[in-house]
């Protein structure tokens, strides 16, 4: 089987993840309408160290998934794949590993927020079993409101999504 293996991040992985996230964000160049708002800065090493779980692919990492907890359920806060590794199934492998980790932890669903009209965002997540949450509530609604306050919706339509976790 080809491709990097997926594993839990170690302390030595964390310093390279912010630049990996920044590189991954360049994949959105030209995919979103031009606007005055930029994507938020990449997570800091401290923020990553405080995450519920970070899964990485490769050594050094060429992709990662940052997992948090929202409304008592798993939440995919960030999925980043380096442009040089894009299109090889690494994002899907990271999502599948994240879903597997969430099941093992006893969560019954996983949520995320993403751009609705970018092919490797909402349509990709739909192919992984996520469905749009038309009216988020609780912490997920608060997260969406925070994204709106950051101006993310002004650069592209955003949606919350949820995948049930079947055992």
DSSP secondary structure, the chain, as one string: --SPPEEE--TTTGGGHHHHHHHHHGGGTTTS---SPPPPPPPPHHHHHTSSEEEEETTTTSEEEEEEEETTEEEEEEEEE-GGGTTSSHHHHHHHHHHHHHHHTT-SEEEEEEESS-TTTHHHHHHTT-EEESS--HHHHHHHHHHHHHTGGGTS-EEEEEEE---
What average pLDDT is seen over the chain? 92
* pLDDT in the model for residue 34: 63
pLDDT at 1: 43
The Cα–Cα gap between 64 and 21 comes to 8
Evaluate if residue 2 carries a pLDDT over 70. no
Report pLDDT for 3. Answer: 64
Q: Which tops the pLDDT comparison, 30 or 41?
A: 41
Rounded CA-CA distance 31/121 in Å is 11
Q: What is the pTM of this model?
A: 0.94
Rounded mean pLDDT, 128-138: 97
Q: Is residue 158 helix, strand or coil?
A: strand
Closest CA to 126 of 166, 72, 162, 83: 162
Residue predicted with more confidence, 44 or 38: 44
Average pLDDT over residues 75-101: 96
Nearest to 120 by CA among 88, 145, 165: 88
What is the model's pLDDT at position 149? 92
The pLDDT tens digits for 39-55 are 888 999 899 999 999 99
């Amino acid at each position: 089987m080809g491709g990097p293996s997926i594993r839990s991040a170690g302390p030595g992985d964390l310093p390279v993840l912010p630049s990996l996230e920044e590189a991954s964000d360049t994949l959105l160049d030209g995919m979103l309408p031009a606007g005055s708002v930029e994507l938020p800065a990449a997570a800091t090493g401290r923020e990553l160290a405080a995450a519920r779980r970070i899964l990485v692919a490769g050594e050094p990492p060429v992709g990662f998934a940052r997992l948090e907890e929202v409304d008592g359920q798993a939440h995919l806060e960030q999925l980043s794949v380096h442009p040089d590794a894009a299109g090889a199934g690494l994002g899907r492998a990271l999502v599948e590993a994240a879903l597997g980790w969430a099941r093992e932890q006893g969560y019954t669903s996983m949520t995320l927020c993403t751009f609705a009209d970018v092919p490797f965002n909402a349509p990709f997540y739909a192919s992984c079993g996520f469905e749009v949450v038309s009216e988020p509530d609780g912490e997920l609604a608060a997260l969406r409101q925070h994204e709106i306050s950051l101006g993310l919706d002004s650069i592209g339509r955003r949606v919350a999504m949820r995948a049930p976790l079947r055992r």
